[in-house]
Every structure is written in structure tokens, then in C-alpha cells.
Structure 1
Amino acid sequence: MKKAFKRNSISSPLGETPKAEKYLHILVIRLSAMGDVAMCVPVLRRLVKQYPNLKITVLTKAFFTPFFDDISNVEVLVADVKNEHKGFFGLAKLAFQLRKNNFDAVADLHHVLRTKILRFFFFFFGIKWKTIDKGRAEKKELTRLEPKIIQPLKTTHQRYAEVFSSLGFPVDLTQKVEVPNYPIPKKAQEILGKTPRKWVGIAPFAAHEAKMYPLDLMEKVIAEIDKSEAYEIILFGGGKKETEILNNLASKYKNVENLAGKLSFKEELHVISNLDAMISMDSGNGHMAALFQIPVITIWGATHPFAGFAPFQQPQENQLLPDLKKYPLLPTSIYGNKKVEGYHEVMRSINPQQIVHQLKKIA
């Protein structure tokens, strides 16, 4: 039986009483993308720990629901933006469906056209909302080619936390929380078998080419790790083409298995919770591993961790960057979707040995 939420005032364990103590049920909106949804999780874990009487409902896509399975006082509602909730009238339908849940306030962590339309209806329903400041102007400055000024911006996690703070619930992102270590799914056990070696996940793909470490160099990384006999390498990816590439890679090496296309997303997430380390691009897999406080080595190309998208609480030495002396205009893009002449192969300035060396330091 689910715990009933009494409508009394909420005080944090730190003795702070939020100004907006009447808000006991908050709708949190983050529809996509995978990495951005994953980055909500560490913030929500700390929010509900600090305010244990607060109820959270997350509006997101069905695929992402496993992210929130283990968080107390958090439920998920699914937005079907490709069918039932498509377009203005579909979003209007969604808004009226959401209204029935009697939310006290809305935290819009997405701030796109879809959520703006939803907020339009919330305004007329008399539901207070706050939205994320994405810092677009600051990010534009960071990726400006000349003059180049490199300085760290707020992290996405901090930007999410600021939304809750504006509703009266400051979140201490430094507080420690327990994270789950899920049982290894039976299907994964059959594929991976039993081994005394440490498990290293490698996710070599990203949404944009400018964020992908060249596959020929990644194979050198895999070959070097495999040769050490100290690690079991588990490959992650998605889509038919990626699965074929990873199957081919795995077939060449003794201690490499490919899980792409073999498990459900939830099962993959449970395997990731059991890794000893993850090597990924600036992509969702790094954020997924960070949810479980697993050491994550991220490889950066056209993008840069200063934009605020580094995995949660990962040390700077785990964020491997191209040669900035050779490529002084980096970062050239926030999302990796922009190309700059002469900067197509910046990642080749990251030596495979750098990655292997960093792995041996952390796992």
C-alpha cells in the first residue's frame, strides 16, 4: 500500500522550512533526451531525501520509466508525444489529464515548445510553475570561436536544482544518498557468465559524429584492455547498425561481450549498476553509470564538460579532452551537431593509451 501524503508543512532535515510549504505534490517534466532525463535522477534522489513528505510525479516518455524505479515518493506518468499527445490538441488533452492529479506546482526541467504549451494550460488552471534556465547565452559564448573564453558554466544538475529552489525547496547536491545495486538479470548472466575479472562497460557511440571517438582508435582501446586479462569488456549501444558493429568487435576478442540488442533497457540499466567502470562519449551511457556512483571516463570532442553536461560527481581527471593547444577553438558545439573546418578529427589527438591508463587508475 502506498504511503498517504498528509497536507501539512514540510521541513527539511536541516531545519529549513521552505517558503512554499503548501506545495506537497510537484509535477516534474523532462521528456527527452536520455542523458538529460538521467541527469534528473541524482537531483530527485536528494530532493526526496531532504523533503521526505514531498511527492513527485515525473512526466516523461515510457522508455525512461526505469530510471525512477528505485526513488521513494516518485511516480511516473507517460507522455505519448508521438500519438495520443501529439501536437497542440494532443498536448491540450494531456494538460487536462494532468489536471486530475491535483498537482500543487510544476517544475519544467525541459523548457521546449511542448512544455511551453502545457504551461499555458497550467496558467489557466491556476497551477504555479517554474522552468529551467538553460543558460543559452552563456553556452553561446562558450562555443564562440573568437575571442575564445573558456570557463565552467553551471552544471545541468545545478540548473535542475535551481528550479526546485525557486519553488521553495533548495536541494543540497553534495549530500550522500544510497544508490541501488540491482541483481544481474538472468539473460545477462547467461551471456556474460561468471568471471573474476572486473566489468568495464564501453559505449562507443553518440548522437553526433563530432562526439564519437573514432572506431579504429576505440578498437585499439578494447584490444589493449582485452590483452591485460584483468577486465571483462561489455559493449553497449542501440540500433541495428550499431549492434552489427559491436557484434563484429566482440567476435575479435576473448574478453569482450556485446549486450546491444540482447536486453531490455531496464535489464541494461541493471547490468550497468554492477559495472566497475564505464567508458563513454559525451552521451547517455555515462550519465546512466554515474547514477550508480560508478567511475565514468568520458571522452570529449567538439563538446566540453564546462558546458555543464559532465556525468554527476565525476572527477575532472576522468574527463579526457582533445589537445587544446592544437585545437584552441574548442569547444565548438554544445551538443556536437556543429562542424568547424579543420576540427573534424579533434578526437584523434586523444591517444588510446590515455584512456587505458585512466581506466587502470580507477578500476
Structure 2
Amino acid sequence: MKTLLAIRFSAMGDVAMTIPVMQRVLQAHPDVEIVFVSNKNWGALCEGIPRLHFFPADLKGAHKGVKGLYRLFKAVRAAYRIDAVADLHQVLRSQIVRTFFRLTGRKVAVIDKGRAGKKALARQENKVLQPLRSTIERYADVFRSLGFSVDMSATPPVFGRRSIPVGMEPKGAFKWIGLAPFATYVEKTYPFDKIATLLGQLVSQPNTRVLLMGGGAGEVAKLQELAERYPQAIVVAGRFKLPEELAIISQMDVMISMDSANMHLASLFGVSVVSVWGATHPFAGFMGYGQRIGKAAQIELGCRPCSIFGNKPCFRGDHACMEQLPVSEIIEKI
């Protein structure tokens, strides 16, 4: 049995995109196991995949700083005999950990993020608007570099449907539409007044329940405000732990999400996702696993995309990419 170490510390959506790749590697190579080092909170994403072992990294605690990363290296090495390392992150922390393993003679492969192509895609002048290699294929390339073939051309669901957790309203004969209206950056977030309009149209559909997704006290408060206006909506955020939220997502018929984590979580279960794109663009390679670009709600603007991750302020100052995106464009894609 060969043991590979895969590293991807954050964020949840990026971590979720590694899961189909690692599952496919393991299916193609029965003599391989993968130890996956990631944020300590994301272990539920690995559950149910044979020979995929989650190893939690506490980057704000025990594994903080160089000394902490050395402690992480020693802990992994004590628990597993690592044969090779797949760095799926290529940031300073992952560079440090992989260097420790390289110094012990282990083979290391590192993701090519395609920075030149992404820079050309997002620049204001002489923009090269063309699809780039997907992040999922870039993850697969790392394993290929280590000598492990993997075919990502087919996109079956990673996981099947799961039982609705205790405390969640029964689905019954209702159609469940997930609505995840938040993203890390405002440039990737549909305006809240438009979200309210969208929700009003969704709940007016017969036999439909809209499940409001999010995280953190601020987001939960905004979702509760929406649910007070539209009692047919159900606030899921803040009520369940990640494994239970994943079970709820698995039962959805459609997910409406920004370019954010919920798009990727729903994709793992084969749930159709209507993704909403503003400052970012599907051409950068971050579409959900198995999702069709025809389900991406977006408008054509010469300034789009203005950044790859949505972390740069709108240089126009009007957020036209989101403000001008009509609610009808999203409704039509459901």
C-alpha cells in the first residue's frame, strides 16, 4: 500500500473541489491510500470515501507558525508512512510542510495555479477572455505528476443522498431549493434587495420550500429577516453542524449560490446549481464539479472578470456586474 499526503488548508469551497479528485485517484489505484491534511473543521467532507484519511490541521492553534507546522509534519509522519506529497495549495504553509517531507527524501508535486492565464483574464486592458484549465483538473495534474493516472472526464456524484437530520423540517412532497446568498467578498455577492425579490418569486412557486444557507451570526440574522418576510422559507444556517448541513444539501433539488462554498458542496451530491457570478467568472476554472456553464447566471461586461477571487474593489464603483443582473436571469435557469 502506497500512502500519499495531500495538502489543501483552505477555503471550504477549494477543499471541496479536491474531494472528487482524490476519490477518483483512490478508485483507479486500489493499492493507494491518501492522508488529507486540511482545516480541522472540514473533516466531514472526507467521510464515506474508502482509504481517504482526514488529518486535521489547527493552523490557529497547535500548528500555527513554523514550529507548529513542524509539529504537524511530525504528527503526520508518526501516524503514517508517507511515500509522496501532493501540494494542492501552493502557499507558504504548504510549502513549509512539503519541504520537511522533501528533506526526508519524499517525492513532491505541486499544483500549477496558472497565474499568467488568470492575470490575462482579469486585467482591465487587453483582456484574454477564454476558459482556463479547471481547478479540478489542476488538482488531478498534481497526482499525475506523482505517477498516478486519473480520469476526470466523467462527473458522477461523489456522494449519494443522506437522511434528513433530526430537527430539520421533513421534505415530504416539496421541492427543495437552496439559496446561499452570501460570499466572502461583496463583489461576489448579489445585492440583498435583489435576493429578497428572488426569494419572493421562489416561494410563490407551488409545492416549493426555499432553504436559506449561510454561516456566522451576521448572515444568520439577515436570513432570519428574510424568513420573517417570507414564512415559506426555512433558515438552515446556524442550526446544524457541517455533516447535518451536507445531509440537507444532498436532498435539495436545486441550489442557488454565489461563487462560493455552497456551490461546491452541492456539486459533490450531484445537485444542480444555479451559480451567480459578478466580479469573478467561470472561465477562471472555479465552476462546481460537474456543473454546466449554462447554469451560470451572469451578464456580459467588458470589465468582467476584474479579479479571480473577487477580492478587489470594483474599479468602476457601481458593481454593475451584480446590480445589472436581473432576477429573471436566475429564475430562468432553475
| TM-score, reference length from structure 1 | 0.89
CA RMSD of aligned residues (A): 1.2
C-alpha distance in 1 between matches for 2:235 and 2:155: 33
Corresponding residue of 1:85: 63
Corresponding residue of 1:346: 321
C-alpha distance in 2 between matches for 1:203 and 1:333: 21
Cα deviation, 1:147-205, whole Å, max 9, x if unaligned, reads 122000000000000000001112101245462211110122xxx23431210100000
Corresponding residue of 1:20: none
Q: Secondary structure at the match of 1:250?
A: helix
Corresponding residue of 2:77: 99
Which residue among 27, 32, 37 is the counterpart of 2:10? Answer: 32
Q: Secondary structure at the match of 1:279?
A: strand
C-alpha distance in 2 between matches for 1:97 and 1:240: 34
Q: Secondary structure at the match of 1:125?
A: coil
C-alpha distance in 2 between matches for 1:195 and 1:253: 20
Alignment of 1:206-221 (within 5 A): 206-221=183-198
Count residues in correspondence.
331
Which residue among 240, 257, 264 is the counterpart of 1:280? Answer: 257
Q: Which moved more, 1:62-71 or 1:43-52?
A: 43-52
Corresponding residue of 1:11: none
**Is structure 2 residue 22 aligned with structure 1 residue 44?**
yes
C-alpha distance in 2 between matches for 1:90 and 1:254: 47
TM superposition shift of 1:227: 0.9
C-alpha distance in 2 between matches for 1:109 and 1:156: 10
Q: Secondary structure at the match of 1:331?
A: coil
Percent identity of paired positions between Structure 1 and Structure 2:
40
Corresponding residue of 1:181: 161
C-alpha distance in 1 between matches for 2:184 and 2:234: 22
**Is structure 2 residue 85 aligned with structure 1 residue 115?**
no
TM superposition shift of 1:49: 1.3
Corresponding residue of 1:229: 206
Q: Which moved more, 1:312-321 or 1:299-308?
A: 312-321
C-alpha distance in 2 between matches for 1:94 and 1:62: 12
Amino acid at match of 1:249: L
Q: Secondary structure at the match of 1:333?
A: coil
C-alpha distance in 2 between matches for 1:309 and 1:134: 12
Q: Which moved more, 1:199-208 or 1:228-237?
A: 228-237
Which residue among 119, 130, 134 is the counterpart of 1:155? Answer: 134
Corresponding residue of 2:53: 75
Amino acid at match of 1:80: D
**1:229 and 1:255 in contact (8 A); partners too:** no
Cα deviation, 1:284-324, whole Å, max 9, x if unaligned, reads 000000001110000000000000001011111101112x2
**1:46 and 1:177 in contact (8 A); partners too:** no
TM superposition shift of 1:139: 0.6
Unaligned runs of 5+ in 2: none
Q: Secondary structure at the match of 1:37?
A: helix
Cα deviation, 1:248-275, whole Å, max 9, x if unaligned, reads 1012113210011111111111110111
Cα deviation, 1:194-238, whole Å, max 9, x if unaligned, reads 431210100000000000001111111110111112311000001
**2:156 and 2:290 in contact (8 A); partners too:** no
Corresponding residue of 1:167: 146
TM superposition shift of 1:345: 3.2
TM superposition shift of 1:80: 1.0
C-alpha distance in 2 between matches for 1:196 and 1:174: 34
Cα deviation, 1:118-145, whole Å, max 9, x if unaligned, reads 1221121111110101111111111011
Q: Secondary structure at the match of 2:163?
A: coil
C-alpha distance in 1 between matches for 2:294 and 2:228: 32
| TM-score, reference length from structure 2 | 0.96
Corresponding residue of 1:333: 307
C-alpha distance in 2 between matches for 1:194 and 1:207: 30
C-alpha distance in 1 between matches for 2:156 and 2:51: 15
Displaced runs of 4+ in structure 1, greater than 3 A?
Answer: 175-178
**1:70 and 1:180 in contact (8 A); partners too:** no
C-alpha distance in 2 between matches for 1:187 and 1:105: 43
Of structures 1 and 2, the larger Rg is shown by: 1
Corresponding residue of 2:120: 141
C-alpha distance in 2 between matches for 1:160 and 1:150: 22
Alignment of 1:229-248 (within 5 A): 229-248=206-225
Unaligned runs of 5+ in 1: 6-23
**2:177 and 2:210 in contact (8 A); partners too:** yes
